[in-house]
C-alpha cells in the first residue's frame, strides 16, 4: 500500500487526456493541439510537484494526488440555474458577466452590459473559432507550461475559459465579472479554466474572477490566466477564491506589462481545503507600475500557499506589494514573494510587505520574502511580520462594553479591512467585507463562546 | 457603591498591592495619589478588569456584586469606566464605530434600545463640544496619530458618551498642557452628579484644583498610608512625596 500509487496519479491523467483527445476529433490536428500535446508530455515526464521542489516545500499534495478527479469536459451546463449561482454574483453591480460551469461556458447564465465597439468578452472556445488571429499570438506564450506540473495539466486540458479583448484607446466603464462555478457530480470532478485577457495600448478595464463551489463538494480547480497589458494601459484585476472548503484550488496568473502601463492585482483567498496561487508579473517596459494586494483568511484545517514573482526587467518601474493573512484554528499558510530586479532595471522602486495574524496557537505561517537584485541603483525593501492580536486592544474594547469575541472580531476585521479598502470597486469591497465577517464567525474557536 | 477590602495583587513574583482598603459612596470624588511605582495605576486597572494581575487576597464589591468575578465587559455594562493612562491605538476601527458599539452594548444591557447612526450623531455632536473636539475625529482610527492631549480628550469623550456610574481616571492629567487640562477637567466635572462617583488616580495635585475631591488617599508601596481631604493634596504638593516616605520610615523605626 505504501508504494507510490500510479506514479502520483500520472497515469490517471494521461488516460483522461487520451479520452479528451478522442472527443476532439478533427481539432486534434490544430496548432493548439500540438501545444496540448507538448504540455501533457511534460506532465508525463514530471508529474505533480513534490516537497523536494523548493517552490512546493511547504505545501503537501498527498491529499490531492490520492483522489481520482474526473475532468468534466463534456458536462451539461443547462442543469444549473440562475438561482444556483446567484450567491456568487454581485447583486448591485452593473457588469458584463460570463459564467463557466466546471470550466465550460454557460451562455444561459451570462449577461452582457453594452460594450464599446471592438470589445470582445466571450468564451475562449468561441474566440478560437471566430477570431483565432486575436488569440493565437498570445495563448500559451506567457504561462510556463513546460516547467510546472499544474500549468502543464491546465494547458493539456485547455478547452474553454474566458477571452477578453479591449481594443486600443478604449475605456470600459463597467467591470467584467468572470464567474467559475464548480459542481461536482457523484465523483470528484476537475476543471481547467483557461483565460486570456488582452488590454491594448492606452485602454482600460476592470476585471473580477470569482471561483466558487457548493458546500462540502470535493473537486479540483486548476485555473490559469494570461493577461497582456499594452503600453499605457490600465488593468484592475481581482481574483476571489471562495471554493467549497473541501475543494482543491490551484491557479496561475501571469501578467505581462508593456511600458507606462498600470496594474492592480488583488488576490483574495477564502475557501478551499488547499489553495495555491502562482502570480507572476513581468514589468517589461519602462515606467510600469504594479500593485499586488493579497488577503487570505483560513480556518479549521485549510491550507493556503501564495507565491508571487515580480520581474523588474526594465528601468524606472515601481511595484508595491501587500499581502495580509489571517489564520485561525489549525489552518496553515505559506507566503513566498520574490522580487527579481534584472541588471537592466535601474531606478527600480520595489516595496513588499507580508503581514500575518495568527488567531490560534495551532495556526501556522511560513513567510519568505525574497529579493534578488542585479542592478545597482534601486530602492527595494521588504518586510514580514507575524503576530497575534494586540491583547491591550482587546482589553480596551472590552473595557468599553464589547464582549471578548466581538472585540476579537472587530480587531480582526480591521486587520483585513486595511487590505480590502484598497479595492476600488465599492460593491466588490462590500461583498468581500461580508464574506470575511461571515467566515470569521465560522471559525472553530468561536465554539468557545458557548 | 464600591468597597475595596484588604486587596492584595501581584504580577509574576512582584507584590504590587499589599492590602488596600477604600470605600467610595455614591456622589463622592476620591483622589488616589502616589509616586511612580506605588501601585495606583495597578489599582485602577484591576478595577477595570485587566487580567495581567493576580489577586491573592481581599475583595472588591461594586453595587453589592463581587467585582472581581466579572469580565471587563460586564463591569463596563454595569457602569464602571476607566479612562486609560495609555489609550490604545486601534488601526482600522474608526472612533464613531468604536463609541457607538460600546454605547449600544451598554444600552442593550440596560434594556434600552440600540442607537442607530443618525441618533448617535446627534448625541455625539453635543459631547464633542464638551471636550472641544472636531467632528473629523469620528472618522479617524481610534487613537491612531492622536497627540497625547487628543488621546486624553478622546477618553473623556468616551466617558461622556457612556455615562458611567463610577469613573476611574488613570492619570488622565499626565502630559497635558494647561488648556487641555482645563478641557478635560471641565468634561469630567460636567458628568459628575449625586449618583455618580469619580476616582481620580494622579501623580499631580493640579487636576484637583478643577475637580475638587472629597477625599485624598496617598498610596505608597502598595498601601494607603494616609487619607485626608483636599488639604492633604496641597500639603503633598508643597512638601513632595519624600515627606510621606520619610514619615513612613520614621513610623517604622518607632515601631
pLDDT, tens digit (0-9, with 9 covering 90-100), for A189-198: 999 999 999 9
pLDDT digits (tens, 9 = 90+) for B142-186: 999 999 999 999 999 999 999 999 999 999 988 888 888 999 999
Q: How far apart are the first and last CA of chain A?
A: 43
Cβ-defined contact of B90 to A415 (cutoff 8 Å): no
Smallest Cβ–Cβ distance between B88 and the set A393, A403, A413 belongs to: A393
Please give the residue of chain B at the shortest CA–CA distance from A401: B73
Are B93 and A410 within 8 A, CB to CB?
Answer: yes
Within 8 A by CB and 6+ apart from A437, the residues are A409, A413
Query: What pLDDT does residue B135 have?
Result: 93
* Contact call for A397 and B106, based on CB within 8 A: no
Place of cell 471641565: B186
CB–CB contact A401 B162 (8 Å): yes
Region A266-275 average pLDDT:
98
Looking at CA atoms only, how far is residue A410 from chain B in angstroms? 8
**Average pLDDT value over all residues in chain A:** 93
Residue in B82, B91, B102 closest to A401 by CB: B102
The answer to whether B7 touches B222, Cβ cutoff 8 Å, is: no
Single out the residue of B49, B65, B44 nearest to residue B201, CA to CA. Answer: B44
Contact A390 B88 (CB under 8 A): yes
pLDDT for the residue A446: 61
- Asked whether A290 and A281 are in contact (CB, 8 A), the reply is yes
**Is it the case that residue A314 has pLDDT exceeding 80?**
yes
Alpha-carbon distance of A50 to A150, in angstroms, equals 12
Count of positions (residues) in chain A: 450
Query: Distance between CA A143 and CA A255 in Å, rounded?
Result: 9
CB contact under 8 A, B105 and A396: no
Q: Which of A400, A412, A420 to mutate to test the interface with B (most CBs of B within 10 A)?
A: A400
| Predicted confidence (pLDDT) per residue in A187-239, tens digit | 899 999 999 999 999 999 999 999 999 999 999 999 999 999 999 999 999 99
The reply to whether B105 touches chain A by the CB within 8 Å rule is yes
Shortest Cα distance, chain A CAs vs residue B46, angstroms: 11
pLDDT at A2 over 60: no
Beta-bridged to residue A384, according to DSSP, are A354
φ and ψ at residue B113, rounded to 5 degrees: -75, 150
Cβ contacts (< 8 Å) between A399 and chain B: which residues? Answer: 48-49, 72-73, 75-76, 81-82, 84
Q: What is the pLDDT of residue A450?
A: 41
Chain B CB contacts of A393 under 8 Å are 88-90
Does the pLDDT at position A449 exceed 60? no
The closest CB to that of A403, out of B49, B73, B90, belongs to B73
What strand order describes the sheet that includes B14-24? B14-24, B2-11, B54-62, B65-66
CA distance B105 to chain A (A): 6
- On chain B, the residues whose CB falls within 8 A of the CB of A397 are 90, 98, 102
Pairwise CB contact (< 8 Å): A395 & B101: no
Residues of A in contact with B51 (CB under 8 A): 395
Residue A220's Cβ-count burial label (10 Å; 0-12, 13-18, 19+) is buried
Q: What is the DSSP letter of B135?
A: G
Contacts of B82 in chain A (CB under 8 A): 399
Burial A345-371 (b: 16+ CB within 10 A, else e): bebbebbbbbbbbbbbeebbbebebee
The pLDDT assigned to B69 comes to 95
Q: Calculate what percentage of chain A has a pLDDT beyond 70.
A: 96
Mutate: best of A387, A399, A404, partner B, most B CBs <10 A: A399
CA distance A86 to B8: 60
Query: Does A88 have pLDDT greater than 50?
Result: yes
- pLDDT confidence of A5, banded at 50, 70, 90? very low
Q: How high is the pLDDT of residue A51?
A: 86
- Which pLDDT belongs to residue B58? 96
C-alpha A277/C-alpha B67 separation (Å) is 51
Contact between chains at A400 and B93 (C-beta distance less than 8 A): no
Q: What is the DSSP letter of B115?
A: P
**Residue among A220, A276, A191 nearest A65 (CA):** A220
**Is a pLDDT exceeding 90 seen at residue A171?**
yes
Judged by CB atoms closer than 8 Å, whether chains meet at B73 and A398 is answered as: yes
Contact B20, B223 (CB under 8 A): yes
pLDDT of A3 over the 50 cut:
no
- As a whole number of angstroms, the distance between CA B85 and CA B170 comes to 5
For the cut 80, the answer to whether the pLDDT of residue A316 exceeds it is: yes
- Greater pLDDT, B79 or A26: B79
Helix (H) or strand (E) holding B252: helix B241-254
Query: Which of A392, A398, A429 best probes binding to B when mutated, by most B CB atoms within 10 angstroms?
Result: A398
> Please, is B68 exposed, middle or buried when counting C-beta atoms within 10 Å of its C-beta (0-12, 13-18, 19+)?
middle
Q: Write out residues 138-167 of B within 8 Å (CB-CB) of A.
A: 158, 162
Nearest-CB residue to B76 (from A393, A400, A411): A400
Please tell me the distance from the alpha carbon of residue A408 to that of residue A388, in angstroms, as a whole number: 11
Distance CA A86, CA A431 (A): 13
Cα B236 from chain centroid (whole Å): 21
Distance in Å from the first CA to the final CA of chain B:
35
Nearest to A400 among B50, B92, B158 (CB): B158
Q: Collapsing DSSP states into helix, strand and coil, what is residue B165?
A: coil
* pLDDT value of position B140: 95
CB atoms within 10 A of CB A1: 3
Please state, in angstroms and rounded to a whole number, the distance separating the CA atoms of residues A305 and A295.
11
Cβ neighbours of B84 in A, within 8 Å: 396, 399
- Which strands make up the sheet holding A176-182, listed edge to edge? A104-105, A96-101, A176-182, A204-213, A234-242, A262-269, A289-298, A318-327, A349-358, A379-387
Tell which residue, B192, B189, B128, B138, has the closest CA to residue B161: B128
Binned average pLDDT, 10 residues per bin, chain B of 255 residues: 96 92 96 91 95 94 96 97 96 94 96 93 93 92 93 94 96 89 91 93 89 94 92 87 84 73
Average pLDDT over residues A155-165: 96
Q: How far is A412 from chain B (nearest CA, A)?
A: 10
Strand, helix or coil at B245? Answer: helix
State the pLDDT confidence band at A1, using cuts at 50, 70 and 90: very low
**CB contact at 8 A, B18 and B8:** yes
SS3 state of residue B210: coil
Classify burial at B126, counting beta carbons within 10 Å of its beta carbon; exposed 0-12, middle 13-18, buried 19 or more: exposed
- Per-residue pLDDT at A422: 95
pLDDT at residue A6 above 60? no
B254 class by beta-carbon count within 10 Å (0-12 exposed, 13-18 middle, 19+ buried): exposed
Those residues of chain A whose CB sits closer than 8 Å to some CB in chain B are 390, 392-393, 395-404, 406-407, 410-411, 413-415, 417-418
How does residue A129 score in pLDDT terms, banded at 50, 70 and 90? very high
Q: Which residue of A has its CA nearest to B44?
A: A399
Interface test with chain B among A326, A357, A397, by most B beta carbons within 10 Å: A397
Are A400 and B102 a contacting pair at CB < 8 A?
yes
Describe chain B by its helix, strand, coil percentages, rounded to 5: 40, 30, 30
**Does A395 contact B76 at a Cβ distance shorter than 8 Å?**
no
Q: How confident is the model at residue A321 (pLDDT cuts 50, 70, 90)?
A: very high
Contact B49 A399 (CB under 8 A): yes
* Contact assessment for residue A261 and residue A197, using Cβ atoms and an 8 Å cutoff: no
Chain A positions in Cβ-Cβ contact with residue B87 (cut-off 8 Å): 396
Amino acid at each position: 500500500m505504501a508504494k507510490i500509487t500510479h506514479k502520483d496519479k500520472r497515469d490517471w491523467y494521461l488516460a483522461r487526456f487520451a479520452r479528451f483527445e478522442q472527443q476532439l476529433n478533427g481539432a486534434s490536428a490544430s496548432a493548439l493541439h500540438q501545444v496540448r500535446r507538448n504540455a501533457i508530455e511534460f506532465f508525463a515526464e514530471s508529474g505533480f510537484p513534490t516537497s523536494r521542489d523548493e517552490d512546493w516545500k511547504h505545501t503537501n499534495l498527498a491529499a490531492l494526488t490520492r483522489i481520482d478527479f474526473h475532468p468534466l469536459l463534456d458536462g451539461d451546463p443547462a442543469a444549473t440555474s440562475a438561482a444556483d449561482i446567484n450567491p456568487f454574483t454581485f447583486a448591485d453591480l452593473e457588469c458584463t458577466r460570463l459564467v463557466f460551469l466546471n470550466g465550460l461556458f454557460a451562455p444561459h447564465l451570462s449577461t452582457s452590459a453594452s460594450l464599446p465597439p471592438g470589445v470582445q468578452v466571450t468564451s475562449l472556445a468561441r474566440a478560437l473559432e471566430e477570431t483565432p488571429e486575436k488569440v493565437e499570438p498570445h495563448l500559451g506564450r506567457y504561462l510556463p507550461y513546460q516547467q510546472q506540473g499544474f500549468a502543464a495539466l491546465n494547458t493539456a486540458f485547455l478547452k474553454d475559459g474566458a477571452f477578453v479583448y479591449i481594443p486600443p484607446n478604449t475605456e470600459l466603464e463597467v467591470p467584467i465579472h468572470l464567474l467559475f462555478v464548480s459542481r461536482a457530480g457523484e465523483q470528484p470532478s476537475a476543471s481547467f479554466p483557461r483565460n486570456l485577457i488582452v488590454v491594448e495600448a492606452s485602454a482600460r478595464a476592470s476585471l473580477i474572477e470569482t471561483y466558487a463551489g457548493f458546500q462540502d463538494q470535493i473537486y479540483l480547480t486548476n485555473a490559469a490566466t494570461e493577461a497582456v497589458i499594452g503600453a499605457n494601459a490600465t488593468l484592475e484585476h481581482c481574483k476571489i477564491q471562495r471554493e467549497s472548503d473541501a475543494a482543491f484550488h490551484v491557479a496561475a496568473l501571469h501578467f505581462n506589462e508593456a511600458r507606462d502601463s498600470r496594474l492592480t492585482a488583488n488576490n483574495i483567498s477564502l475557501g478551499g481545503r488547499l489553495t495555491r496561487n502562482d502570480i507572476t508579473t513581468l514589468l517589461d517596459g519602462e515606467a510600469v507600475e504594479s500593485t499586488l494586494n493579497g488577503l487570505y483568511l483560513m480556518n479549521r484545517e485549510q491550507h493556503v500557499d501564495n507565491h508571487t514573482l515580480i520581474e523588474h526587467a526594465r528601468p524606472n518601474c515601481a511595484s508595491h506589494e501587500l499581502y495580509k493573512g489571517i489564520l485561525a484554528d489549525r489552518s496553515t499558510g505559506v507566503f513566498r514573494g520574490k522580487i527579481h530586479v534584472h541588471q537592466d532595471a535601474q531606478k527600480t522602486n520595489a516595496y513588499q510587505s507580508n503581514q500575518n495574524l495568527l488567531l490560534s496557537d495551532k495556526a501556522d505561517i511560513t513567510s519568505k520574502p525574497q529579493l534578488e537584485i542585479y542592478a545597482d541603483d534601486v530602492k527595494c525593501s521588504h518586510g514580514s511580520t507575524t503576530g497575534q492580536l494586540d491583547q491591550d486592544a482587546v482589553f480596551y474594547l472590552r473595557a468599553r462594553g464589547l464582549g471578548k469575541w466581538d472585540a476579537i472580531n472587530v480587531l480582526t476585521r480591521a486587520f483585513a479591512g486595511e487590505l480590502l479598502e484598497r479595492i476600488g470597486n465599492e460593491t466588490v469591497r462590500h461583498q468581500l467585507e461580508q464574506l470575511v465577517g461571515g467566515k470569521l464567525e465560522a471559525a472553530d474557536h468561536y465554539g468557545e463562546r458557548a | 457603591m464600591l468597597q475595596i477590602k484588604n486587596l492584595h495583587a501581584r504580577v509574576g513574583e512582584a507584590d504590587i498591592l499589599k492590602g488596600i482598603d477604600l470605600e467610595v459612596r455614591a456622589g463622592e470624588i476620591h483622589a488616589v495619589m502616589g509616586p511612580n511605582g506605588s501601585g495606583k495605576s495597578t489599582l485602577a486597572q484591576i478595577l477595570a478588569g485587566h487580567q495581567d494581575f493576580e489577586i491573592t487576597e481581599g475583595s472588591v464589591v461594586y453595587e453589592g456584586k463581587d467585582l472581581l468575578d466579572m469580565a471587563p465587559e460586564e463591569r463596563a455594562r454595569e457602569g464602571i469606566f476607566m479612562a486609560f493612562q495609555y489609550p490604545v491605538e486601534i488601526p482600522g476601527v474608526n472612533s464613531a464605530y468604536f463609541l457607538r458599539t460600546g454605547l449600544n452594548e451598554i444600552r442593550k444591557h440596560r434594556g434600552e434600545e440600540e442607537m442607530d447612526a443618525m441618533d448617535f450623531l446627534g448625541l455625539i455632536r453635543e459631547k464633542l463640544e464638551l471636550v472641544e473636539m472636531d467632528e473629523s475625529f469620528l472618522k479617524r482610527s481610534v487613537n491612531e496619530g492622536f497627540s497625547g492631549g487628543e488621546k486624553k480628550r478622546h477618553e473623556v469623550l468616551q466617558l461622556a458618551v457612556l455615562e458611567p456610574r463610577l469613573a476611574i481616571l488613570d492619570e488622565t492629567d499626565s502630559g497635558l498642557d494647561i488648556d487641555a487640562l482645563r478641557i478635560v477637567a471641565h468634561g469630567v466635572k460636567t458628568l459628575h452628579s449625586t449618583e455618580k462617583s469619580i476616582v481620580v488616580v494622579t501623580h499631580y495635585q493640579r487636576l484637583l484644583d478643577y475637580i475638587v475631591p472629597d477625599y485624598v488617599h496617598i498610596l505608597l508601596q502598595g498601601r494607603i498610608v494616609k487619607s485626608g481631604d483636599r488639604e492633604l493634596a496641597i500639603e503633598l504638593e508643597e512638601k513632595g512625596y519624600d515627606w510621606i516616605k520619610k514619615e513612613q520610615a520614621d513610623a517604622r523605626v518607632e515601631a
